[in-house]
Amino acid sequence: MSFFGFGSRNQKTFRPKKNALSGSKGAQFQKDIDLTLSNGNLREAVKLPPGEDLYEWLAVNTVDFFNQVNILYGTLTEFCTPNNCPIMTAGSKYEYRWADGVNIKRPIEVSAPKYVEYLMDWIEGQLDDETIFPQKLGAPFPPNFNDVVKTIFKRLFRVYAHIYHSHFQKILSLKEEAHLNTCFKHFVLFTWEFCLIEKAELAPLSDLVESILQL
């Protein structure tokens, strides 16, 4: 996926950008995504191309949205610090605690940057696990693939929610609001198209989500 530049500001990337899944139809899907995005039609960009495999489409887009959120958050790492954001929140009503069910089984309270670090590490682990995201062409996806994808998107949404609630003024001062809003609109339309996030999870940004869906 192509990313818009942030003017003259030096872009700070949180971690290296992941490539599309090499063993899937990732390259062709990437062309389809870039073409529809370049035409400015986000509603068309999220739709499953005719005759294509749903899980392949979800897999390629999961990598894309991971990269997108990774880059967005990367521009804020000098401002989103343990001192400034000691708890991972989305406004005063919503707090997110981290658990991965393996290394950390019970949810723990962590700072926002630590939460995002845990999250990105966890997502990378999922994307690199070939039993979940197979690299070889024709290799089967696991029965729980859709559940894994839903969890990834639910947690990526929390990063957006934190950015909007805690760092939007900084986004405005950096003149990045148009890029953030476009990325979030794309994210919302994709997750809505494939029912990837429960409506209750969207509550911290419900007004913004509703405005996007009504456009």
pLDDT digits over 173-204, tens only?
999 999 999 999 999 999 999 999 999 999 99
pLDDT digits over 94-152, tens only?
999 999 988 899 999 999 999 999 999 999 999 999 999 998 777 899 999 999 999 99
CA distances from 148 to 29, 78, 125, 145 (A): 21, 30, 12, 5
Q: Helix or strand or coil: residue 35?
A: helix
Q: What is the CATH number of domain 26-192+203-214?
A: 1.20.140.30
Domain borders along the chain are 26-192+203-214
98 phi and psi angles, rounded to 5 deg: -100, 135
In sequence order, the β-bridge partners of residue 95 are 89
| Per-residue confidence (pLDDT) for residue 52, from 0 to 100 | 87
| Per-residue confidence (pLDDT) for residue 135, from 0 to 100 | 83
pLDDT higher than 60, residue 78:
yes
Q: How far apart are CA 113 and CA 120, in angstroms?
A: 10
Burial of 104 (0-12, 13-18, 19+ CB in 10 A): middle
pLDDT higher than 50, residue 12:
no
